[in-house]
Structure 1
């Protein structure tokens, strides 16, 4: 097990046996298994070609022309290996630039997500405050209406007690009823 760079997002210190990168979810283990298999196949092919070349060289005694052609092949092989090295360097630099861009994108996405969460919290808080304000206003209006209606009831429904005594006459009784009726 080794800690490597994620080939997809460029995150440092990801295990090469990890099923998924913690940042982007890329299957790191499968990638490195493919790379390993490709390297093994390439080495096997190189070994095959080397053994075939050795057998062919043993079978034939090279002449001077063949020796020069072998030298040319060696030079060509060296040129090809140098070209491969430069290509590897270029691909490595491209991968680094891609990983840097992906890291920047991930940071901007995180920034936007955090901003969106803050906006949601602000909206919820403002909604709750609005609802509380509306409820308070409704309560105040209802309270004042109830208080006003109670005072109106007292104003119109207040009936003074009429004392009717056993010794009061019918006329006093009727006058007390009329006074009450006039008030209402």
Structure 2
């Protein structure tokens, strides 16, 4: 039953992520709010990349990111990042649709070579936190980046401040 709702949430929130990424202007991709922060382009690319991780998280019991290669393109090209996003969304949708309720209880681990990065923990917990919530967290950061650079923030859950809702 939970997967039915996750699939609906995935589609709704993917559309919101798409709106947010489409609102990023090429001219501001180099913006960085602090010396230790990603640039806007790097953050956008990271958001697009999280959708790729659905495959390893939902289809493998041990996901070794050290052996997984994803061609990302330049974080200084918003069109490349949008194409990466769309390609990864297709892969994520397929992986999510292939998941069964029983697999949510399976133990899952992320490794980087011999080092355990996450887990072991139930796949359902990791899907909720590492995939869904991780994207939402970084979308919130992107909203701050957009506002800091004077750009309009798209309404994800209704009108925004820029739309006169504030």
Q: TM-score, normalised by structure 1?
A: 0.28
Larger Rg: 1
The one of the two structures with greater contact order (alpha-carbon pairs below 8 A, sep at least 6) is: 2
Higher strand share: 2
